[in-house]
Amino acid sequence: MVQLTSAERETVDGRDGPARAMALRIVADTARLLGAAKLVPIASAHIDGCLYHGDSGTLFAERLVADGGAVAVPTTLNVGALDLLHAGRVRLAPERAAMARRMMDAYLRLGCRPTWTCAPYQAGHRPALGQHVAWGESNAVAFCNTVLGARSERYGDFLDICAALSGRAPEFGLHLDDNRRATLEVDATALDPRLVAEDAFWPVLGAWLGETEGGRIVAFTGLPRRIDEDRLKAMGAAAASTGSVGLFHIVGVTPEDPKLAPGHESIRLTGAMLHAARDRLSTARAHAGDAVDAVAVGSPHFSYDEFRRLFAHLKGRKLAIPFYVCTGRHTLAALAEAGLSETLKTSGLTVVADTCIVVTPILPASDGLLLTNSGKFAHYTRPNTGYDVLYGSLADCAETAIAGRLVRDEMIWR
């Protein structure tokens, strides 16, 4: 039975208005059915519920606005269903686009920041080690817990905004010390260091984690002591989309002590396990030279550093097929500040801002074959767009887009 404080009971009784009362009621109901003992005050929120999945979500957000709702903590917004910076990029039917816009507007009127990104942690939203927060969007939750060491359970749409409005979350799951402790050591020392040095390794490691050990808290050992943040982001996103992964530890890298108990269970990763995971990220068989219809990167949203890397791969060469790069407006602003707007403009890349290709119709509506370097895109492209998907490295994506045919460096997987 969940215990509310006297202040929380007053909020539920309407002291702070009907929107905050409804929000706290939903948080408390969720806490009750999860078996949480109490609620925990939160420092910030990230809202995934601003993506249009039908009119119901718009009506809910507008109810909160009509009832006088306002966020109680700093709150960022995940992607919406529209690209507000590039008119015509999204092919949503006009009536759905209008409802999606109404929904986005309602969240802004509740006081959320218009970040529109699934990588809020690269848009200045970085809670401190040990801080309790309520975040939606599975990759953001994984990053928040794993890389920042802040504490969020994997919240569903609507609980995120209810937590933001009430400033409370159920004290459950990853908010609690015991549930953050690793119960399985995954030893990576046997892996070929040349593979581990590749960007393309990390989403595959994440996909392996999500598929095979998605229900457990894992501590990786034997990985490099310094791992680029974009690699951790890509790994977490793959793990969180292929399984219910909200936290993992990498000994020597992530900030929290995994607290492995003596005599803990341990497994040793082999190249073969990862090759199998890599193969599962593609829904079609293809060979070098086969036609590819499009390339897409940026799930989670492409960062400034990733753009720099992509520019370096492209070297100003002309693209033969559409190359979608999904990103946040914070990254476009950083590119502009660095004087790279012209480079971006002449690159031939199709920039998708505020949203991405698997959450709203952007790809031409035909079957096709898409190459991506994202484990999350690899997981969702087939069901959400109808395109078959191939997984490859960022270099593979660049070379394939230039050739218009599949170019994939298989050597890194030997």
Partner 1 sequence: MTPLLPGSAQGRVLKLPSLSLWGGVDPFSGKLTDPALPHCGESVKDRVLMIGEPVGSSSSSAVLLELLHAGNAPAAIVLGRADAIVALGVLVAREMGWATIPLLVMAPSEQEGSADGETMKIE
Residues interacting with partner 1, by CB under 8 A?
Answer: 22, 25-26, 29-30, 33-35, 48-49, 51, 53-57, 59-60, 63, 136-138, 141, 153-160, 170, 172, 214-215, 240-244, 379-380, 382-384
What burial class does residue 411 get, using C-beta atoms within 10 Å of its C-beta: 0-12 exposed, 13-18 middle, 19+ buried?
exposed
Our CB check for partner 1 shows the closer of 14 and 252 to be: 14
Which of these, 160, 133, 156, lies nearest to 145 by C-alpha position?
133
Closest CA to 230 of 220, 222, 238: 238
> Looking at beta carbons only, is 244 or 270 nearer to partner 1?
244
Phi, psi of 383 (to 5 degrees): -65, -35
Q: How far is the CB of 77 from partner 1 (least distance, A)?
A: 14
Provide the minimum distance between the beta carbon of 241 and partner 1 in the complex, in angstroms, as a whole number. 6
Please give the Cα distance from 185 to 248 (Å, whole number): 10
Kindly tell me which of 160 and 230 has the beta carbon lying closer to partner 1.
160
**CA nearest 91: which of 412, 339, 401, 359?**
359
Cα separation, 177 vs 172, in Å, equals 10
Q: Which C-beta is closer to partner 1: that of 257 or that of 367? A: 367
**Using CB atoms within 10 A of its CB, is residue 153 exposed (0-12), middle (13-18) or buried (19+)?**
buried
Q: How far is the CB of 283 from partner 1 (least distance, A)?
A: 8
With tokens 């529209």, the residue in question is: 82
SS3 25: helix
Q: Minimum distance between the CB of residue 288 and partner 1, rounded to whole angstroms?
A: 25
The smaller minimum CB distance to partner 1, of residues 344 and 390, is found at 390
Taking each continuous run of H as one helix and of E as one strand, the counts in the chain are 15, 14
Closest separation in Å from C-beta 136 to partner 1? 5
Contact 298, 326 (CB under 8 A): yes
For partner 1, give the closer residue by CB, 59 or 333.
59
CB neighbours of residue 266 within 10 Å: 12
Q: Which is nearer to partner 1, 22 or 394 (CB)?
A: 22
Smallest distance from the beta carbon of 240 to partner 1, in angstroms?
8
| Burial of residue 193 (number of CB atoms within 10 Å: 0-12, 13-18, 19+) | exposed
CB of 54 to partner 1, least distance (A): 3
Smaller CB distance to partner 1: residue 173 or 258?
A: 173
Q: Around Cβ 34, how many Cβ atoms within 10 Å?
A: 13
Q: Please return the burial class of 346, using the count of CB atoms within 10 Å of its CB with bins 0-12, 13-18 and 19+.
A: exposed
CB of 155 to partner 1, least distance (A): 6
Give the rounded distance of the alpha carbon of 341 from its chain centre: 25
- 19 vs 148 by CB, closer to partner 1: 19
* Smallest distance from partner 1 to CB 202, Å: 19
Q: Give 3-state DSSP helix, strand, coil % of the chain, rounded to 5.
A: 40, 15, 45
Q: How near is the Cβ of 388 to partner 1 at its closest, in Å?
A: 10
- Which residue lies nearer to partner 1 by CB, 174 or 295? 174
